[in-house]
Structure 1
Amino acid sequence: MEYQAPKHCISVAGLVTNESGEVLLLRTHWRSDTWEMPGGNVELGEPLDEAIRREFQEETGIVIKPIGITGVYMNTTKQVLSVCFRAQYISGEIKIQEDEIVEARYIKINEDNIGQYITRPQQRSRLLDAMNAKCFIPFEAWEVNPSYKLLHRLEGDRDYKC
């Protein structure tokens, strides 16, 4: 059998809360049965932190600042690697892209009511992991040809202790 290079898709999602501790969630046209964190596919050559900023802005109109990674998840059926971030609200008001998003709003979520909003188990675990994260994994993006150049680094929130 001849070797075939893997073809994976990378996606990002992010947790942002408002001053009341409510989580910004949305429903898409193709998954309208569940709420989920804003996010989407990473474009070729795009650093993960830029991808989550772009996806948030495109889907919700909200400008965010990624703080750090809260989890990495794999869908082996569709070969999708998902990286979830905790992010800080910077500016903007919810304004959705109606061709992609059905609804977006802040929702008070906890372990008791999460099943009422998030019907898919992989989305529940990602959100709970992001909500319960006590520290954030750093992230770096590098350009390595022809020399080594650090493009981006997220330090994470140094107030949290792992």
Structure 2
Amino acid sequence: MIKEFKKVMMSEYEMTDLGAMKYFLGLQVKQSPGRIFLSQEKYADNLLKKFNMSECKPLATTMALNERLSKNDGKEKVDASIYRSLVGSLIYLTHTRPDIVHVVSIISRFMSEPNKAHLVAAKRILRYVKGTKGYGILYETEENHKLTGFIDNNWAGSIDD
């Protein structure tokens, strides 16, 4: 059925069958029977090079324990365009990295007036990415479907509001 569909599409439209997808919009796709693995390892490498962090020491966590970032903590301001570029790049990386979504959302709160503490926190995420470049999302067929969820709320964690 798939071969027939491709044949009809090729006769109707100008197209080429490139086979199984391997790379698309910065996403690496590895397919095997019953499994699809999505990652952004190449994108992560390019991101580390872009921000001169290729040779940094990797870290095991995305954020320091009990770290509290604030808008007005008196620290020296940094170049907002560089900070925005870094945060935007990290946001794109979250497509296959749910492990960094929370901490990226925290640093994205300070895009209007970033300071050194915010930049250090963003670069810490890059150091974590350095050690976990091969991480991604694995989709597998499964016989026993069971949905499990986890949550870690910190309702009073924001210093600013």
Which of the five TM-score ranges fits, normalised by the shorter chain? under 0.3
Greater fraction strand: 1
Q: TM-score normalized by structure 2?
A: 0.26
Identify, as 1 or 2, the structure richer in helix.
2
Q: TM-score, normalization: structure 1?
A: 0.26
From the CA coordinates, give the structure whose radius of gyration is larger. 2
